[in-house]
Structure 1
C-alpha cells in the first residue's frame, strides 16, 4: 500500500480550497449583479412568488402582476416598463397595482 506524503496532501487540500473560494466568489458576484424586480414579468414567466393560490416560478396569472418578480440586471428594475405600477416602472418591492 502506497502512502501519501504530507506535501502531496497539502497540495491537494490547497487546490481544493482554491476551487471552493473561487466558486463562492463567482456566486457572490452573480447575486450582486441582479435584483428582484416586481411587476415586470409576463404571465407564467415570473421567477418566483405570484400571490395567493400560486406556487413559485412560472405561476403568475397575468402580465405585470404586482406581487410577482423577475430577476433583472442590477440597476435596471426601476427603468423597466410596468403598466400596473403606480410609477409606470418595475419596483424593488411588491406594490398595489393601479
Structure 2
C-alpha cells in the first residue's frame, strides 16, 4: 500500500477529530436563536430546508434562519426558539 496515502489518511483523521472537538466546545454556553440572522449571516441550515449551509439566508430576520448566541440572550434580541419559529413560519 502507498505510504503517502496512509500518512494522508491518518492526518485527515486527526484533523477531523480536532474539528469535532471544537464544534462541541462552541455549543457549550450557546443556543440557537431564530429570527435574528441578517441576510448572509445565518449559522447553518434553516428550518424550511431551503438550504443546508451557513451564510445562505436571503433576507434579514427570517423566522426559519438562526444564529448561535450566548445562552439566555436570545429573548433580549427579540429572537425565538425552534418551536416558536416553526409557528411563525408562513404556511405553504
Normalised to the residue count of structure 2, the TM-score between the two structures is 0.59
| Unaligned 5+ runs, structure 2 | 1-20
Among candidates 28, 34, 41, match of residue 38 of structure 1: 34
Superposed displacement of residue 75, structure 1: 0.4
Query: What's 2:80 paired with?
Result: 91
Aligned CA RMSD, in angstroms, stands at 2.4
* Paired position in structure 2 for 1:72: 69
Name the SS for the 1:79 alignment partner.
helix
User: Which one has the largest radius of gyration?
Assistant: 1
Q: Secondary structure at the match of 2:75?
A: helix
Between the two structures, name the one with larger relative contact order (CA 8 Å, sep ≥ 6): 2
When you count helix as a share of all residues, which structure comes out higher? 2
